[in-house]
Amino acid sequence: MTAAFITEAVDSQESVQSWKMPEIRQGTCVTYYDSTLAEQRKVVGYVVKLNKTGRTVTVHVPSTGQVMEQVRHFNDPKLKIAPEFRENGAWDYTDDWKQTQQRIADLEQTVHRLNEMLQVPTARQTRAKTAE
């Protein structure tokens, strides 16, 4: 075994142990990838169950009628390490969900900036400034 191989194996193991599945709620619409994880084979699915491990979900795919158990998130490092983890496919947030989350973050940032710009000094802040 080479030092590079051992280092890569240790890094992979650490990434697997430290990785946490993104938060998701039952009933959320997701993008489901079949076992090939190919972009052109993705379909819409719904999370019907959060599994006890906290690393997988059960996804219902209405277009095929399938219910896929033990589905890992698309970025789960185990999907890259071992092919058997890809057997049940993978899930990711839909593009629409991602865009909505980005819009929310942008709006929150705008509101924060506006609050800072519109902040009227309190009487205590005015007195402190005058005393300087």
- Predicted local confidence at residue 123, as pLDDT: 58
Task: Provide the number of structural domains found in the chain.
Answer: 2
Same domain for 57 and 24, yes or no, is yes
In this structure, are 43 and 86 located in the same domain? yes
Q: What is the pTM of this model?
A: 0.72
Given a contact cutoff of 8 angstroms between Cβ atoms, the answer to whether 24 and 50 are in contact is: yes
Confidence tier at 49 by pLDDT (50, 70, 90): very high
**Residue from 61, 56, 60 nearest 74 by CA:** 56
pLDDT for residue 120: 57
Least confident residue range of 27-36, 107-116, 121-130: 121-130
Same domain, 41 and 87: yes
Using 50, 70 and 90 to split pLDDT, how confident is the model at 12? low
Domain residues for the domain of 17 are 1-91
Compare 128 and 2 and report the one with higher pLDDT.
Answer: 128
